[in-house]
Amino acid sequence: MWSGLFDLPWWGNVLVLLALTHVTIASVTIFLHRHQAHRALELHPIASHFFRWWLWMSTGMVTKEWAAIHRKHHAKCETAEDPHSPKVFGINRVLWGGVFLYVKESRNKETMERYGHGTPDDWMERHVYTPGQKVGIVLMLAIDMALFGVVPGALMWGVQMIWIPFWAAGVINGLGHFWGYRNYDCVDASTNLLPWGILIGGEELHNNHHSFATSAKLSAKWYEFDIGWMYIRIMEMLGLAKVKKTIPRPKFAAAKSVVDLDTLQAIVTHRYDVMRRYANSVKGVYLEEIAKLAQSDRKLDLKQLRRWLNAERTEAFPAMLQQQFEKALADSPRLQQLVTMKQELVAIWARSSASRDQLVKQLQDWCVRAEASGIRQLEEFSMRLRSYAI
């Protein structure tokens, strides 16, 4: 039986397989995800076409289909129109059958027309990659068997074919909206699976991505590592890539006497930082008031109350708990004031119908009321809010 051009031991085949699948992962995260779906970076034609060619052979995926489905996922996240939300379909169906949800959505012409714009439409795409998507994976099978032997090559090819359906369509789309930690309280259920994005190319940092979808860099904290970003930086130094956007870092200047449009824009841009600082600023007041409530209401779930107070989206909590917490607010005017002020602050960047002038006026009014609240921490936070800069 043909043993292949490279007669490797079993562990040698495993190492080669890991290298091949890692190239596929890098192609998905750099080309399909960050470049095509979100336009977070530009790629040199050589790099772009290499990724297209490799994905054609290693996955058979069509660029337009992948980008369109992913864009729709962001636009309709966690709703009935989301192509693969575990909140809608259940974690088991997305984790183990995510590829079938992908295939089903790829046949939705409306999705392709509405969300598939701007993807490659050259001669190769129209005559080779799209109509011949199965040809590429058959070619990969032939190459694997020729290089590593019939049986080892076929087994390696099989793993290559299930690698993306499992890790991307299953783990990222499933567990990435079900389990993990969150740096940002964005409106969907996205989570960071691990702080070290290596195995899945940085896609492990899914909550970071959903919070800043157009960022080419997925890591946000000092302890997080995004290997896809490392590859992008190397490509940038070689002239093969150009980064367009990354997660914005807040800037501060001298506090303005009156907030203006620039202040508003800076606050909206850095809204997650604003909410984190707000929670830290009023944490002491929260603890004081919770301690008072605990003395009068032994049935109050203090741990959940703290979570509820810091959450941007309190509707995510069960109705029974919300009723309990609302009663707690009624018993604590200071907590009620802090929660109301927080909700009003969130509403400033959540509203889409108000004009810029109206939003600036609302922010000005918010600062005036915060500084007249009699709560020192709220007054200090308002002054900090005035110092956000573009």
pLDDT of residue 89: 94
Nearest-angstrom CA–CA distance, 32 and 27: 7
Q: Which portions of the chain are predicted below pLDDT 70?
A: 1-2, 297-302, 311-320, 351-352
The domain ranges of the chain are 10-243, 252-389
Nearest-angstrom CA–CA distance, 335 and 300: 15
Per-residue model confidence as pLDDT tens digits over 302-344 = 677 777 777 666 656 666 677 777 787 888 889 899 989 998 9
Residue 254: burial class (beta carbons within 10 Å; 0-12, 13-18, 19+):
exposed
Between CA 227 and CA 215, with CA 21 as vertex, the angle to 5 degrees is: 35
pLDDT of residue 197: 96
End-to-end CA distance of the chain: 67
226 has which bridge partners? 197
- Among 377, 367, 317, CA closest to 344: 367
pLDDT of residue 277: 92
pLDDT of residue 330: 84
pLDDT of residue 178: 93
pLDDT of residue 354: 81
Per-residue model confidence as pLDDT tens digits over 148-178 = 999 999 999 999 999 999 999 999 999 999 9
